[in-house]
Chains A and B, each alone.
Chain A
Amino acid sequence: MEKLSFKEIDNTVAATLDPPGRFYWTVIGLLFCGILVGAFCWAWQIMVGIGAGGQNSPVNWGTYLINFVFWVGIAHSGTLISAILYLLRAEWRNPIARAAETMTVFAVCTAGLFPFIHLGRVWMVYYMLPIPNDRTLWPNFQSPLMFDVVAIGTYLIVSVLFWYTGMLPDLAAIRDRASGTRKKVFSVLSLGWTGRFEQWRHYSRGYLLFAALATPLVISVHSVVSWDFALGVIPGWHTTIFAPYFVAGAIHSGLAMVLTLMIPMRRIFGAQRIITMHVLESVAKTIVFTGLIVGFAYGTEYFIAWYSRNSVEMEVFTFRSAGDFTLSYWIMVVCNSMVPLLFFFRRIRTSIVWLFGISILVNIGMWFERFVIIISSVAHDFLPNAWGQYAPTAIEYGIMLGSFSLFFFLFFLFVKHLPAISMTEMKELQHQGMTHE
């Protein structure tokens, strides 16, 4: 690794907080418009009814739950990078850990919106909270959707705490450089961090603790999300492979999103010396690994359908790859399990263009994975007479645009207002590098 002085690190990172240029404002403005479009579409849907979307009988779930699973999946690799790789002492994670964790928080927030958007009567959503009432009506904890509420809620809380704890020393560093209002704000945010030895000791213990707490969540949250489907009786859903399959898929998509975010970021902020090619290459290698798991899972599903000799299962899987949703299915297979294999070639995984292009393709592929799972199974489930079709409507596309806009909007705000790269951990990395020599 290239040597960087602590000062260089501080300057590079702090430079991201400089007043933005016209390009930034344009992008922020466009994203805000995107959010407004989404908000309008949602408001319209609340007014008119869920029928504004394309859901129907039998396909009662559409893009809202696809996007929900998609964004929860994106969230996962953030935690993987910031927590699991921290515990595993994978040093290449340090430069991207902060951005990845931020991605987690915002992706969970975005994902968390979708169950609300999806509801037929969102104004009654508080029925899902265990509020004591004189009719002793409680939520049904048998329902996978209640699992979801608990899992996503926990995940959001832990992620936010982990993210914020990790940021404390950096917030103090900004505070020390800042003046005026920013200084006041950061004084409050940094919770009186002075960098004393006890504080560092508490900090590193706390960080480790949160990392340990977040680690099982990576596995559990997406397992729980997968049970939304696997606990149903629907062919194509009702299978034990779903939890690991979803977790692998989630990390796969999350890593791709990390690349999608990091590559422009290092370019824009000139952070090539911090987020080095080595870091990106390591992410790409991990994508090869998760891509292989995902590809294996696709194969397993077909094998089990065939091996079970269950005609309902067999029909659903034939339908997936050769029915009305053939295109979606093959986009999913090619983008998720074949394209990432290109990263076996060093030339490709060290080329910024290839990295960026493939990361986008994996993102698209993972979206279609959720599309295929959620739509095609119910479109052709048990009762042949009820078989149907599904296509999203403009309202759904509008809400989808809104969700992507919201995510990137929040991320853009983040890079201009908070240290997007962990100065502390970069310095640790430098320090360790020095001692090892």
Chain B
Amino acid sequence: MDRRTFLKLAGMGSLAFASACTLENEKNLYSLVRIQDDMVSGEAAWYASTCRQCPAGCGVIAKNREGRVIKLEGNPLHPVNKGKLCIRGQAAVQEVYHPDRLQKPLIRQNNTWKTMDYDEAVSLLAQKTRKAAARGQNRVRMLTGIEGDVRLNLFQRSLDSWGSRAPTVFEPFSHENLRAANQSVFGVNGIPSYRIEDSDVLAGFGADFCETWLSPVEYSRKFKQMHAFAEGGKGRFFHVSPWRGITGANSDAWISCAPDTESVICLGLIKRILKENRAGNIPEQAGRQIRKIAEPFDREKVIEISGIEPDLYDLLSESLLQAKKPLVIGTAAPGRDLHALQANAAVNLLNYLLDPDLGKIDFTRRHRAEKAATHAEILSFFRDLESDPADVVFLNNVNPVYAFAGQKGIKEPLEQSGSFVACFSNFMDETAQCADLVFPVSLALESWDEYGAYPGLLSLCQPAMKPLNGAPSVTEVFLRIAPKAAENRETAREELIFQVQQNHGIDDEKTWLDALSRGGLFDKASRRESGAENPGLQDGFKDSFSDFEISGTEESPQISVLPSVRFFDGRSANLPWVCEIPDPVTQVAWQSPVLVHPATARDMGIEDGDMVSITSSNGEISAPAYKSSDIHPGVLGLQAGQGHTEYGRYAKGQGANPFALFSVKSSPLSGTALYETRDLQVEAAGMQQKLASTAGSLDPHGRKIALTVSVDELLEPEGEKKHGLAMHDFPLTLPLPEGYDEQRDFYPPHDHEDYRWAMAVDLDRCIGCSACAAACYAENNLAVAGEEQIINGREMSWLHIERYWQIEDPGKSVFLPMLCQHCDNAPCESVCPVYAPHHSKEGLNNQIYNRCIGTRFCAQNCPYKVRRFNWFDWKWPEPLNLQLNPDVTVRSKGVMEKCSFCVQRIKQAHGRAKNEDRKIEDGEVTPACVQTCPTDALVFGSLMDSASRVSQMVKDRRAYQVMGYLNTKPAVIYLKKVVHAV
């Protein structure tokens, strides 16, 4: 070979070699050869981040095992959620591994979807926007879900560089009535923080702060600060709404009213307060004006219009009058209250009258949700698009086609206007279906970002794992397609650091790293800016009530959209855990039944499970009926969030979308959205659908399951009491040697070694939100059985929120977390022929999966019915299996399973304690459910440690064991719910 040939070949060869190698997604997330610095196989690395499932912006810490995020927990340092997460936050990790998550950008060509590479898609977008910018002003439009400042700034700069308007922020739950009312009464177009924890009487006019309202985890915690029993009693909470919901179930009285009449009730209260001269120190003129507005609403009229119980109305007004620190909060976001603006304005006036300084409303700590545009603005965005099509339309993490399902003129401009619609979405949802390019970007857990729910709060998102499909984040996409806006910054991290340096004064590496490891800068936000005063009453408040007329005689039945703790505005409906865990109030999973009062159902001649078809001029839905006395008579309630026509296998075709019935128009008065249903027709469709209900009976049948005790009784000194052994009167028998009695027990007590694990459940604190159940699904690899198998009675939840409803006595409606009771005298242990349920040295009732042969005798004999059998080999469609916790066995068909008190966490603590040559400390082991409980209703510890919190709690006179008369000696000890004698 001569020199020239050699060079030719070498050149060709290396060129061929270089060009043949394209970057492919790695098959393995890690290899031990190239391992990340902070990754130790077998040990978890935790990354602080921010939950982006709703605008609340809770802090999370993401557990990364071998390169994969497998579990989210609340960030204990974060001021919003203090270490807790809700059901949706727990399920957020399933979004990452969702089997229907798009892996590559999809472009529409001749009405079929073609995949393309990320780089190609980015160049395409760059090219389109460049051309659009060249064509003139406003050729690029953008609709985005609510984002942190970093992204919103970048979007704005980018659009600016293309000569276009700022992006429109779309949130289906915009709380615009709240803002409009604040604007009108206090002159602040924003959403303040409510210091619920400082009140002693709280009245809500629908605000579902235990479900979706503003910041549910935060407000649930604050609510329990005022409403959990402590020395001297507990606060009172009244929920005035046509729908009881979780929030109403936690109230001392749910005051059921007809839809759209909350404003009337509130004005009635105002009138009463003015009449009794109980108002605070307010200017005379304002007093006169308010009096004039409230004048027509005397007690009888209020009761007649709103259809509320006179006794409860009097109770509410008395309680507010007598309260030292009353607080009133407004309406729920998804309601369709025609007079929501008036209701919220009346709420503001009422707060003003009760406390002119507004001491419990903090206008300096305004919620980021206020950045959302009003529905009127959203509609005009789409109207503009129709009349003047843009060249490029960006849709970032929004689904308006679903949220405005009954509205004309949303889908059409996207599909037909000739604009190039690019949708940043990880799922083929209703809106993505209308787009020309669907660009799946990396999710919050995979990218650099920030989202602070309150001013001054820096809450960071950092990649807790490599992007599963190698997708860039939306920040990176914009940095690349808008070079002018990028200013030479290439990565999302650079952009984030740049903006954080500017806006949060982080100027040295140490502060940055510190903020990153803690999840953000929290101490700055918690300091209330001194000098900032709350606004006072504005003159314009009376405008809200001009032309305010209400008759109360509306057509019947009415449709009401109810908030759902599971689906929020519909974006969580594709997460299997969220679908699988039943709604705490209806106990129905997977479906969204039509809730109807039993009396109304009787009039309509429908029974549970009868399909009801509801038609309006805007659309038609049908759903099975579900009789519930938790809804006002004459109202048909449907929870928001389901009924997707796209959005992956778990969402598509499940339930019904109530938004399909409504059209939106903006109120001529305030510009807030008015929901309309015209030509409403409701009829039984003549078909049946079995409800996927996980509950048998609502009624505890007097079996001493979910107990309550009145405040008055607790305030009296405790008398010495000797307990009997009967069902009506039985002792607390601790799962310790002292709980044994020769007269009563056949077998001797167990000897426990160092620890006797136990859990205390304070029913007074449990709000029934089911976050614990979701945490359990995530931690313990619980299977998702699906709608059909739930109908067959085969749900796999280890922890289930049971609801025991006493309709005639709402004070006795109790949510009861039911999990394995780890009995000392366990009925399951003695009947197994092969010792698969086994009593451990530390009191755990261990289920040995490998030993189990599946006789199911244990489940039969368990009085608490907490054992779950693997009826099948359950499926984790790939890549959902990547979420599985490697510390927990995935159970195969034919074996029994149940709550283990998160034995893997106990074992881990043992390892740690042994290494450090000490005992496990109280609080060192927290099972997943205990960890996430927003209200700290669950406490875990050892009963052998007399100083532990559980040991202290079982000494509470409220302590009891569920069905303790069976002498199973459960290690889950419940504390009775404390109720006000109403």
26 sample A-B contacts, Cβ–Cβ < 8 Å, listed by A number: A51-B792, A55-B856, A55-B869, A57-B859, A57-B865, A57-B867, A57-B869, A58-B860, A58-B865, A61-B856, A118-B855, A120-B893, A121-B853, A139-B834, A143-B857, A232-B857, A234-B863, A311-B701, A311-B703, A384-B698, A384-B703, A385-B800, A385-B802, A387-B696, A387-B697, A388-B793
Q: Which of B788-839 contact A (CB under 8 A)?
A: 789, 792-795, 800, 802-804, 816, 818, 827, 830-835
Select the stretch in B130-138, B382-390, B870-878 that faces chain A: B870-878
Closest B residue, CB atoms, query A115: B855
Q: Which of A14-52 contact B (CB under 8 A)?
A: 48-51
Q: Does B113 contact A (CB under 8 A)?
A: no
Q: Which residue of B865, B870, B893 is within 8 Å of A386 (Cβ)?
A: B865
**CA separation between A155 and B835, bound complex, in Å?**
25
Chain B residues within an 8 Å CB radius of A124? 853
A54 to B789, CA, bound (A): 10
* Extra A-B contacts (12), CB below 8 Å, given A143-B830, A383-B696: A50-B869, A51-B893, A56-B871, A120-B893, A121-B852, A122-B853, A139-B835, A144-B831, A311-B702, A382-B703, A385-B696, A385-B804
Q: Which residues of B contact A311 (CB under 8 A)?
A: 701-703, 727
Contact across chains for A312 and B703 when beta carbons are under 8 A apart: yes
Residues from chain A with Cβ under 8 Å of B857 in the complex: 143-145, 228, 232
Contact digits for A89-126, partner B, Cβ 8 Å, 1 yes 0 no: 00000000000000000000000000100111110110
Q: Is B793 within 8 A of A58, CB to CB? A: yes
Q: Is the CB of A127 within 8 A of B853?
A: yes
B895 is an interface residue with CB less than 8 A from chain A: yes
Tell whether, in the assembled complex, residue A120 and residue B870 are in contact, meaning their CB atoms are under 8 Å apart: yes
| Chain B residue, CB-CB nearest to A382 | B863
Contact assessment for B827 and A232 in the assembled complex, using a CB-CB cutoff below 8 Å: yes
Instruction: Give, as a whole number of angstroms, the nearest-CB distance from A185 to chain B.
Output: 39
**In the complex, residue of chain A having the shortest beta-carbon distance to the beta carbon of B850:** A124
Chain A 293-316 against B: per-residue CB contact (8 Å), 1 yes, 0 no?
000000000000000001110010
Chain B residues near A382 (CB-CB < 8 A): 703, 863-865, 963, 966
B696 touches A386 (CB 8 A): yes
Scoring A residues 136 to 168 as 1 if CB is less than 8 Å from chain B, else 0, what string do you get? Answer: 011110111110010000000000000000000
- The answer to whether the Cβ of B894 comes within 8 Å of any Cβ in the partner chain is yes
A56 touches B792 (CB 8 A): yes
Instruction: Please report whether the interface of chain A is mostly helix, strand, loop or mixed according to DSSP.
Output: loop
> In the bound complex, do residue B871 and residue A51 qualify as a contact, i.e. CB atoms below 8 Å apart?
yes
B872 touches A383 (CB 8 A): no
Q: How far is the CB of B869 from chain A (nearest CB, A)?
A: 6
Q: Does B711 contact A (CB under 8 A)?
A: no
Q: Is the CB of B894 within 8 A of A120?
A: yes
In the bound complex, CA of A378 to CA of B861 (Å): 9
User: Which one of A60, A127, A228, A385 lies within 8 Å of B697 (CB-CB)?
Assistant: A385
- Give Cα A249 to B867, complex, Å: 31
* Inter-chain contacts of B851 with A (CB < 8 A): 127, 137
Nearest to B728 among chain A residues (CB) is: A311
Contacts of B863 in A (CB 8 A): 233-234, 381-383
Min CB–CB distance A52 → chain B (angstroms): 8
- Which residue of the partner chain B has the closest CB to A377? B860
Closest to B861 in A: A232
If A232-B860, A384-B701, A385-B695 touch, whether A60 touches B869 (CB-CB below 8 Å) is yes
Interchain CB contact under 8 A, A56 and B794: yes
Are A57's CB and B831's CB within 8 A? no
Asked if residues A384 and B697 are in contact (CB atoms below 8 Å), the reply is yes
CB within 8 A of A142: which of B830, B854, B872? B830
Residues from chain A with Cβ under 8 Å of B827 in the complex: 232-233
6 smallest CB-CB distances across A and B, nearest first, come from: A120-B854, A387-B696, A51-B871, A120-B894, A56-B793, A386-B865
- Contact: B793 with A57, CB < 8 Å? yes
Option from A119, A234, A315, A385 in Cβ contact (under 8 Å) with B854: A119
* Cβ contact within 8 Å between A51 and B794: yes
Residue-wise interface mask of A (195-228) relative to B, using a CB-CB cutoff of 8 A (1 in contact, 0 not): 0000000000000000000000000000000001
B705 within 8 A of A: yes
Q: A50-B869, A51-B871, A233-B863 are in contact. Are A137 and B835 (CB under 8 A)?
A: yes
Q: How far is the CA of A124 from the CA of B852 in the complex (A)?
A: 8
B812 to chain A, nearest CB (A): 14
Min Cβ gap B810→A in Å is 18
Query: Closest Cβ of chain B: how far from A130's Cβ, in Å?
Result: 11
Residue contact A120 to B856, C-beta cutoff 8 Å: yes
- Residues of chain B with a CB closer than 8 A to A51's CB: 789, 792, 794, 871-872, 893
* Shortest CB distance A82–B (Å): 31
Bound: A138/B834 CA distance, A: 7
B754 within 8 A of A: no
Give complex CA distance A28, B860 in Å: 39
User: Is B699 at the interface (CB under 8 A from chain A)?
Assistant: yes
Instruction: Judge whether A49 and B855 touch: CB under 8 Å.
Output: no
Report which of A138, A233, A388 forms a contact with B966, defined as CB distance below 8 A: A233
Query: B868 contacts the other chain (Cβ, under 8 Å)?
Result: yes
Q: Which of A54, A58, A119, A138 contacts B853 (CB 8 A)?
A: A119
Asked if A384 contacts B831 (CB within 8 A), the reply is no
Is B418 on the interface with A (CB-CB < 8 A)? no
CB within 8 Å for A60 and B831 given contacts A50-B893, A120-B853, A388-B696 = no
CA of A127 to CA of B963, assembled, Å: 33
Does A328 touch B at the CB level, under 8 Å?
A: no
Set of chain A residues within 8 Å of B789, measured between Cβ atoms: 51
Residues of A within 8 A of B856 (CB): 50, 55, 60-61, 118, 120
One of A128, A233, A383 near B818 (C-beta < 8 A): A383
**Contacts A49-B873, A383-B863 known; A57 to B830 CB distance under 8 Å?**
no
Report the minimum CB–CB distance from A111 to chain B (whole Å). Answer: 16
Residues of A within 8 A of B859 (CB): 57-58, 60
Asked if residues B860 and A49 are in contact (CB atoms below 8 Å), the reply is no
Question: Which residues 79-105 of B sit at the A interface, judged by CB distance below 8 A?
Answer: none
Name the residue among A125, A137, A231, A384 with the largest chain B CB count within 10 angstroms: A384
For the complex, what is the distance from the CA of A213 to the CA of B861, rounded to whole Å?
A: 33
Give every chain A residue within 8 A of B803 (Cβ-Cβ).
Answer: 385
For B872, the chain A residues whose CB sits under 8 A away are 48-49, 51
A276 at the interface (CB under 8 A from B): no
Query: In the bound complex, what is the Cα–Cα distance between A115 and B794 (angstroms)?
Result: 21
Choose among B795, B831, B833 the residue that contacts A232 (Cβ–Cβ < 8 A).
B831
Chain A residues near B860 (CB-CB < 8 A): 58, 60-61, 232, 234, 378
Q: Does A59 contact B (CB under 8 A)?
A: yes
- Tell me which residues across on chain A come within 8 A of B794, comparing CB atoms: 51, 56-57
User: A144 to chain B: which residues have CB within 8 Å?
Assistant: 831, 857
Which residues of B are found within 8 Å of A232, using beta-carbon distances? 827, 831, 857, 860-861
A residues within 8 A CB of B896?
120
Residue of A whose beta carbon sits closest to that of B795: A57
Q: Tell whether B536 is near chain A: CB-to-CB under 8 Å.
A: no
Bound-state Cα–Cα, A140 to B833, Å? 5
Q: Which of B865, B869, B893 contacts A383 (CB 8 A)?
A: B865
**Given A57-B793, A385-B802, A139 and B833 contact (CB-CB distance below 8 Å):** yes
Q: How far is the CA of A127 from the CA of B800 in the complex (A)?
A: 32
A55 CB, nearest partner CB in chain B, Å: 7
For A120, what are the chain B residues with a Cβ–Cβ distance below 8 Å?
852-856, 869-870, 893-896
Q: Is B540 an interface residue (CB 8 A)?
A: no
Q: Tell me, in angstroms, the Cα distance from A385 to B895 when the chains sit together.
A: 23
Cβ of B13 under 8 Å from chain A? no
What's the Cα separation between A51 and B788 when bound, in Å? 12
Contacts A121-B895, A142-B830; A310 near B727 (Cβ below 8 A) = yes
CA gap between A143 and B827 in the complex, in Å: 11
Q: How far is the CA of A237 from the CA of B643 in the complex (A)?
A: 44
B700 sits at the interface (CB 8 A): yes
Q: How far is the CB of B972 from chain A (nearest CB, A)?
A: 13
Whether A143 lies near B793 (C-beta < 8 A) is no
Enumerate chain B residues within 8 angstroms of A312, measured Cβ to Cβ: 701, 703, 727
Q: Tell me the bound Cα distance from A315 to B893 in angstroms.
A: 34
B830 to chain A: closest residue by CB: A142
Contact with A along B508-550 (1 / 0, CB 8 A): 0000000000000000000000000000000000000000000
